[in-house]
């Protein structure tokens, strides 16, 4: 039981918020930040009155204080965080900090979603698939279930385990020795297409293409079909800020890709001699593990898994090098390989997948706030990875950071199946690029890939200069 705070401290807290409201005419968020800082340094019973949605004050007083936090002169000041906003796409980290500090269990009314932002809360939800189900989709709005029935990351056990088991051998650590020469050949071929010295859009020419070409090979897609598949998939995945449903063009591209994959898997059902991911799907259909209705979801999910994490990670590393955030020589070890600590730190610092969602199967109470059954809950991986209670100096990119426990690949039964491949592609990609082009500098303004959950680059213009041998 929590004791009721002395009246004079409650009054002082309310007075501070009244002052914050007055200051909101000048800068709502900044004013509230200053008040929060003051209360953090106050006695515990005074701090008691500032906890967002956790106060034991009478409901009418608590609601007034909540409103003071959210009322400002602009619509942006009314919501602490909106996952579909342009602000979230440009730089979501200030909002993440506000959420962790003020509202660790936050309800975003415009999107009808709850949001968890602290490391321990996000990790606990990821591990608790029985109360936080994936079976009702991982995004928000009408993007939920867009790939289709076979998307096993949107399943719960036992179906999830059965489908995941089909592909697990090809993504296991022990399988990476088979893929290393394939990825190396692809990376060196792409780098060889660059001018010896000059300007290149490294996103379109390298960071997107390398992982997509790799997954196309693993799927067994013919070389003649690869350019169309790659372009169609990238265009299908583009989503503008504020959109909560796929465009007509995205639906059209999905239909074309689904028809293609249906035909390819059917070919493997009727003919022997294939050894690829699509033949694994064909064998699973023949053995009754899945049926033909799973083909669209599982193929599109594999394409997506092959693109987003690796493309974003590669782009973030190249962007840091090009903008002198990090010296490329510090990234590599004595053998010319990307340091593991550097790779892990880039994953933590700017998570390729910023968030995914779950739906509660029962009422769930966290920090004295109850999330109702049937609610969609955003799990902010990227915010969790900046939690100062877990990572000292979380807003500093420290490539020497050891023992990182980041959540960039998720946690629990849905831990990223493709993690070994993503790390292999990143190591080989950076190594191949820096061996030929030691100097990489920014050459124009980059643009982010239009995505709700990813934080990669669509365009990343850089100037390349040859390495000295």
Phi/psi of residue 350, each to 5°? -140, 85
Query: pLDDT tens for residues 68-115?
Result: 443 222 223 358 999 988 888 889 999 999 999 999 999 999 999 999
Chain region(s) in the chain for CATH 1.10.630.10 = 141-465
Res. 38 pLDDT band, cuts 50 70 90: very low
Say how far apart CA 320 and CA 26 lie, in whole Å. Answer: 35
- Per the CB < 8 A criterion, the answer to whether 407 and 121 are in contact is no
Confidence check: pLDDT of 66 > 60: no
Confidence check: pLDDT of 42 > 60: no
| Torsion (CA) 119, 121, 125, 126 in degrees, nearest 10 | 10
Say how far apart CA 339 and CA 437 lie, in whole Å. Answer: 18
Res. 148 pLDDT band, cuts 50 70 90: confident
pLDDT of residue 248: 83
- Per the CB < 8 A criterion, the answer to whether 190 and 205 are in contact is yes
Please compute the mean of the pLDDT values over residues 185-207 and round it to a whole number. Answer: 93
Closest Cα partner for 13 from 367, 25, 52, 96? 52
The pTM for the full model equals: 0.80
Confidence check: pLDDT of 343 > 70: yes
Cα angle for residues 326, 329, 333 (degrees, 5° grid): 120
Indicate the pairing of strand 369-371 with strand 198-201. unpaired
pLDDT of residue 141: 67
Say how far apart CA 395 and CA 387 lie, in whole Å. Answer: 9
Q: What share of the chain is helix, strand, coil (3-state, %, to 5)?
A: 55, 10, 35
More confident residue, 59 or 166: 166
Say how far apart CA 212 and CA 432 lie, in whole Å. Answer: 17
Query: pLDDT tens for residues 353-404?
Result: 999 999 999 999 999 999 999 999 999 999 999 999 999 999 999 999 987 7
Please compute the mean of the pLDDT values over residues 143-171 and round it to a whole number. Answer: 85
At the fourth CATH level, the homologous superfamily of domain 141-465 is: Cytochrome P450 (1.10.630.10)
pLDDT of residue 469: 52
pLDDT of residue 283: 96
More confident residue, 4 or 243: 243
Confidence check: pLDDT of 328 > 80: yes
pLDDT of residue 145: 67
pLDDT of residue 70: 39
309, burial (CB in 10 Å: exposed 0-12, middle 13-18, buried 19+): buried
**CB atoms near residue 330 (< 10 Å):** 11
Indicate the pairing of strand 355-360 with strand 457-459. unpaired
Q: Looking up tokens 């975003």, which residue turns up?
A: 108
Peptide bond into 249 cis (omega under 30): no
Query: What is the layout of strands, in order, in the sheet containing 376-380?
Result: 105-108, 113-116, 376-380, 355-360, 132-133
Share of the chain above pLDDT 90, in %: 60
Confidence check: pLDDT of 46 > 70: no
Confidence check: pLDDT of 44 > 90: no
More confident residue, 451 or 38: 451
pLDDT of residue 207: 94
- Per the CB < 8 A criterion, the answer to whether 363 and 372 are in contact is yes
Sequence-separated (6 or more) residues with CB below 8 Å from residue 157: 129, 413
Confidence check: pLDDT of 331 > 90: yes
- The DSSP code sequence of 280-310 is HHHHHHHTTSS-GGGHHHHHHHHHHHHHHHH
Q: Looking up tokens 């350019």, which residue turns up?
A: 227
Q: How far apart, in Å, are the Cα atoms of 390 and each of 9, 374, 401, 403, 404?
A: 31, 30, 12, 11, 9
């Amino acid at each position: 039981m929590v004791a009721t705070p002395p009246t004079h401290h409650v009054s002082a807290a309310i007075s501070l918020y009244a002052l914050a409201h007055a200051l909101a005419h000048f800068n709502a968020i900044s004013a509230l930040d200053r008040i929060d800082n003051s209360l953090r340094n106050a006695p515990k019973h005074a701090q008691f009155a500032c906890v967002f949605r956790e106060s034991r004050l009478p409901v009418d007083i608590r609601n007034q204080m909540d409103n003071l936090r959210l009322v400002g002169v602009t619509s942006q000041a009314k919501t602490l965080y909106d996952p579909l906003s342009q602000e979230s796409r440009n730089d979501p980290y200030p909002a993440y900090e506000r959420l962790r500090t003020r509202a660790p269990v936050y309800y975003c009314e415009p999107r009808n979603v709850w949001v968890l932002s602290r490391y321990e809360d996000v990790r606990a939800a990821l591990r608790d698939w029985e109360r936080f189900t994936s079976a009702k989709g991982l995004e928000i709005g009408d993007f939920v279930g867009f790939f289709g029935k076979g998307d096993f990351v949107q399943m719960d056990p036992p179906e999830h385990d059965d489908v995941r088991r089909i592909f697990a051998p090809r993504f296991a650590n022990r399988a990476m020795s088979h893929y290393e020469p394939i990825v190396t050949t692809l990376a060196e071929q792409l780098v060889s297409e660059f001018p010896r010295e000059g300007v290149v859009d490294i996103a379109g020419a390298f960071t997107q293409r390398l992982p997509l070409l790799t997954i196309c090979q693993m799927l067994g897609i013919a070389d003649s079909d690869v350019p169309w598949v790659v372009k169609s998939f990238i265009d299908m995945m583009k989503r503008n800020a504020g959109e909560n449903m796929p465009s007509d063009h995205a639906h059209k591209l999905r239909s074309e890709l689904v028809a293609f994959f249906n035909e390819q898997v059917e070919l493997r059902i009727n003919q022997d001699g294939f050894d690829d991911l699509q033949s694994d799907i064909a064998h699973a259909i023949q053995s009754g593990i899945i049926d033909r209705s799973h083909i669209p979801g599982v193929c599109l999910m594999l394409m997506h898994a092959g693109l987003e994490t690796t493309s974003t990670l590669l782009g973030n590393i190249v962007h840091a090098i090009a903008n002198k955030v990090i010296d490329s020589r510090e990234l590599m070890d004595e053998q010319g390989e990307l340091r593991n600590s550097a790779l892990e730190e880039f994953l933590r610092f700017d998570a390729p997948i910023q968030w995914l969602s779950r739906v509660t199967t029962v009422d769930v109470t966290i920090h004295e706030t109850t999330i109702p059954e049937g609610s969609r809950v955003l799990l902010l991986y990227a915010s969790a990875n900046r939690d100062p209670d877990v990572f000292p100096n979380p807003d500093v990119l420290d490539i020497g950071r050891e023992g990182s426990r980041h959540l960039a690949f998720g946690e629990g039964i849905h831990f990223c199946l493709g993690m070994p491949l993503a790390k292999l592609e990143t190591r080989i990609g950076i190594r191949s690029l820096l061996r030929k082009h030691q100097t990489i500098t920014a050459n124009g303004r980059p643009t982010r890939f239009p995505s709700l959950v990813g934080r990669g680059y669509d365009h990343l213009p850089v100037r390349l200069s040859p390495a000295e041998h």
